[in-house]
Amino acid sequence: MQDIMMLVQDPAAWVALVTLVVMEVVLGIDNLIFISILTNKLPPEHREKARKVGIGLALIMRLALLGTVAWIVKLTTPVFDLFGHGFSWKDMILIAGGLFLLWKATKEIHHSVDPAEHENDAAANAVTTSFAAVIGQILVLDLVFSVDSIITAVGMTPHLPIMVVAVVAAVTVMLVAATPLANFIEKNPTIVMLALGFLMMIGTTLIAEGMGFHVPKGYVYAAMAFSALVEVLNMFARNAKKRKREAAKQDTVH
């Protein structure tokens, strides 16, 4: 209790907390995009429940990993060497997660680009894309992003209470933003393709990190933000053209 009071009175601890919350929220964007795309494949009545379960599992996994900080730190210790690079358990988890993201995003892009090939399988897809299957896939990515998130937290502050508060705050933001983001993605088909492109870039980044190539996160998120801004401008332009066409039709009728 005394240690917590000292942290509350320490300005440096507050700076570390705010910085870590921002970092955790930014790192959670990747997880949130994946959850939004995946849950949108479920029947509408099951989507919000799946998002809450998926994000809840992410919180439980992060808190569980925080309880084993000493073990988490050991995940960065090289297990074997290959091509002059020492691979740790963290590296292997990131590579596996990156490959899974690339596979999933590529599969979804193929489905979006060539929907005719899948029209006859619509009923089969509705059956196979079950609630349990979606939660299972979310759980796999939760593990990858949770390990990356907690290792980042450990590297920024040695204080466990700050890590716990930052993780809970970040996951709360994810929980609040999940449904609006998923609805926005569903109503704007071009956003789906952009989000899948983001997932492919994130998957490639995870593989690169696992192979020992440091990719500054700032560059990645700056590129994502710029692409999103361009897509928003395109949406405004399309809506403006649509309104002009509708106005022209009304004038013709009159």
Q: For residues 124 and 137, what is the distance between their CA atoms, to the nearest angstrom?
A: 18
Quick one: tokens of 122?
């619509």
Q: For residues 172 and 34, what is the distance between their CA atoms, to the nearest angstrom?
A: 17
All residues at 6 or more sequence positions from 127 whose CB lies less than 8 Å from its CB, including other chains = none
pLDDT given at position 124: 46
Q: How many residues does the chain have?
A: 254
Asked if 185 and 37 count as a contact pair (C-beta separation under 8 A), the reply is: yes
Tell me the per-residue pLDDT of 107-133, one tens digit each, with 9 for 90 and over. 878 777 765 554 555 444 444 467 888
Which residue ranges in the chain fall short of pLDDT 50? 118, 122-128
pLDDT given at position 126: 47
pTM, whole model, 2 decimals? 0.68
